[in-house]
Structure 1
Amino acid sequence: MSHPEESRRMSNTASGVIEIMERRGGFLRNPDRSLQPDRTDPFVSPQLISRFGLVTGAAITGTVQPGGKGPSLTGIETICGQTPEEFRARRPFAKLLAVNPAGRFHIGKGGNPSMRIVELFAPMGRGTRGLVVAPPKTGKTRLLEELTIAIHDDAPEARIVVLLVDERPEEVTHFRRQVPAEVLASSSDQSTQEHVRLVNMCMAQVRCEIECGHHVVVLVDSITRMGRAFNVHGSGSGRTMSGGLDSRALEIPRKFFGMARNVEDGGSVTVLATALIETGSRMDDLIFEEFKGTGNSEIVLDRQLADSRVFPAINLRTTGTRRDDLLFSPEELNAVNKLRRTTIDMPPAQAIEGMLKLLEKYPTNEELLKSLA
């Protein structure tokens, strides 16, 4: 069996995500390499870019021709899964009309206890902008992995991207092996510039997808490390606040998180990002405060629950979704509100342990909610 890279070089077709270099054409980057530059990347001439109206982030398939300096793209078949004519006719991102999230992800149907609890207490739909708020060692990475698998099982037609920023190399390998998603990663042994470039490329790619009416889900680990990277990258560009955070450092991370939306008569972008708290870093606290309240869903993990080995370590009192009435039927909403009222005054450990017993008693969330009707 030939190696994928060898097959890619020998084939007369190529696919990838275009990165346009200033006044020098562009290159098709390979998502399997997390869009990192490579000498085998096909060159895209300025003439092709102009002729087809290409923009950085567009996923392209086309014909290539080998050359002395490397392969070159000679023709384009599809752009973001569309014909070139359809791509040119797409609606620009700025003109997309954002509406409330809709179409709940039924992530609890697989029976995973964590996913069943999240679906009841912090339901997510197409266009959700959610945070997983987590102190260290509370299971955020495992929860993100479970969310990826559950969303894929419920919505296989959606494009799912896992973005790992400044992540431990072994975690990158683990995600690539375990989740049915496109994993774009920069590991902790890479430079700040590489972290920043990957975030910008991912954001450009997702913008192109939603402009073309597609449904995309992006899971980010973590928005905190993304903020740190942009703070180092843009150091000195603005006023330095307490904690060493540059006043302009979070402009791109805010744009990335704010990109999540459900488009009227169009596609959607769902962004679920982890945010670190209680790390002992003033900068991390400031980054979290910048994003707190800008989302429409929060899953809050609890250090005391994790220290007591109670998992999932979800604080049911502080976990929730804005306008969850748009994601549940009236009967479901009534039952979920009853469930919340029974747990609101309980200590976090008692609440989550009580929920786990209910999940054992009722094999599905549908049965559980019917029992509360």
Structure 2
Amino acid sequence: MREMKLQDLKAKTPAELVSFAEELGVENAPTMRKQELMFAILKQLAIQETDIIGEGVVEVLSDGFGFLRSPDANYLPGPDDIYVSPSQIRRFGLRTGDTIEGHIRSPKEGERYFALLKVNTLNFEDSEKAKHKVNFDNLTPLFPDERFRLELEDPTRKDLSARVIDIVAPIGKGQRALIVAPPRTGKTVLMQNIAHSITANHPDCYLIVLLIDERPEEVTDMQRSVKGEVISSTFDEPAVRHVQVAEMVIEKAKRLVEHGRDVVILLDSITRLGRAYNTVV
């Protein structure tokens, strides 16, 4: 049986989606909006008995059910979210921040969202193995005993900031570090260098760059230059949104740590996040 990943469908341009829809026999494809077009394509694929694979990060709501939010939408609620039933949440012990990949089905008559049918992987591991994890709050905090090596062995690289950090202020796994500097002194560039060093020297680490209250141009620049996951809430978003994004990222990091992964979060900037919490609370 053929498989189609929802992520591959989202990555297509509108023109590619239209041509793909016409191949599948979707009527009036050029007149549809992107979201409607994706719905039509997925319904057509379901008719042809193609397995659809979806992924996202769970947000469990107070009503007991949840949704898989997409990192592409910075975990914003949207029409392409995937519904997760209360029975699946109980069965796998799902909590906000769990990363899930699984088979989904297109909405039935009267439904608005895709629905999760089967969980294939939970936090990048087999879903059955994932049941034996230790809760983050029950883990033991220890002093760092392993170091991040930030210097890159690249003779063409002129920037020595990563080497200076290694010598002056080495960073260990499990440590918190703060960059304190006046405006316009290159803090963001230094963070980009740290991100490059971690992805090059420690590929097993899961890197998340969280940009709060930044300009959209800076977000684009970071997405193009960093290989890790870049999540943002730009300055045109309300303070509530900044807080929601930050909490989704920390919950995701906790769930990955419970599964034995090393996670690095680079936050820009903690001052603006503090202001957002001050406004909300």
TM-score range for the pair, normalised by the shorter chain length: 0.7 to 0.9
Q: For residues 53 and 113 of structure 1, what CA distance do their matches in structure 2 show? A: 46
Paired letter, 1:176: Q
Runs of 4+ in 1 over 4 A off after TM superposition: 5-9
Q: For residues 95 and 70 of structure 1, what CA distance do their matches in structure 2 show? A: 35
- Look up the match of 1:334: none
After superposition, the Cα gap between the structure-2 partners of 1:2 and 1:32, relative to the gap in structure 1 and judged at 3 Å, is: closer
- Look up the match of 2:147: 104
Q: For residues 92 and 134 of structure 1, what CA distance do their matches in structure 2 show? A: 36
1:57 to 90, 93, 97: 97
> Could you say which structure has the larger radius of gyration?
1
Shift of 1:83: 2.2
**Structure possessing the higher relative contact order (Cα contacts under 8 Å, 6 or more residues apart):** 1
- Look up the match of 2:31: none
- Look up the match of 1:119: 166
Secondary structure of 1:120's aligned partner: helix
Q: For residues 51 and 33 of structure 1, what CA distance do their matches in structure 2 show? A: 27
Secondary structure of 1:28's aligned partner: strand
Secondary structure of 1:180's aligned partner: coil
State yes or no: 1:47 paired with 2:54.
no
1:79 to 105, 122, 144: 122
Q: How far does the alpha carbon of each residue in 1:272-296 deviate from its partner, in whole angstroms, 9 at most, with x for none?
A: xxxxxxxxxxxxxxxxxxxxxxxxx
Equivalent residues in 2 for 1:210-359 (5 A)? 210-234=257-281
TM-score, normalization: structure 2? 0.79
Shift of 1:230: 0.3
Q: For residues 162 and 272 of structure 2, what CA distance do their matches in structure 1 show? A: 25
Paired letter, 1:4: A
Q: For residues 138 and 80 of structure 2, what CA distance do their matches in structure 1 show? A: 36
Shift of 1:3: 4.6
- Point out where structure 2 has 5 or more consecutive residues left out of the alignment: 1-7, 21-37, 43-50
Q: For residues 3 and 159 of structure 1, what CA distance do their matches in structure 2 show? A: 23
Q: For residues 17 and 3 of structure 1, what CA distance do their matches in structure 2 show? A: 16
- Look up the match of 1:174: 221
Q: How far does the alpha carbon of each residue in 1:219-244 deviate from its partner, in whole angstroms, 9 at most, with x for none?
A: 0001111100000001xxxxxxxxxx
Q: For residues 203 and 218 of structure 1, what CA distance do their matches in structure 2 show? A: 8
- Look up the match of 2:74: 34
TM-score, normalization: structure 1? 0.60
Secondary structure of 2:177's aligned partner: strand
Q: How far does the alpha carbon of each residue in 1:98-123 deviate from its partner, in whole angstroms, 9 at most, with x for none?
A: 22113222211335311111110011
State yes or no: 1:13 paired with 2:35.
no
Using the aligned pairs only, state the percent identity.
36
State yes or no: 1:4 paired with 2:44.
no
Secondary structure of 1:125's aligned partner: coil
Please provide the CA RMSD for this pair.
1.8
Q: For residues 123 and 90 of structure 2, what CA distance do their matches in structure 1 show? A: 17
- Point out where structure 1 has 5 or more consecutive residues left out of the alignment: 235-373
Give the total of aligned pairs: 234
State yes or no: 1:185 paired with 2:232.
yes
State yes or no: 1:23 paired with 2:30.
no
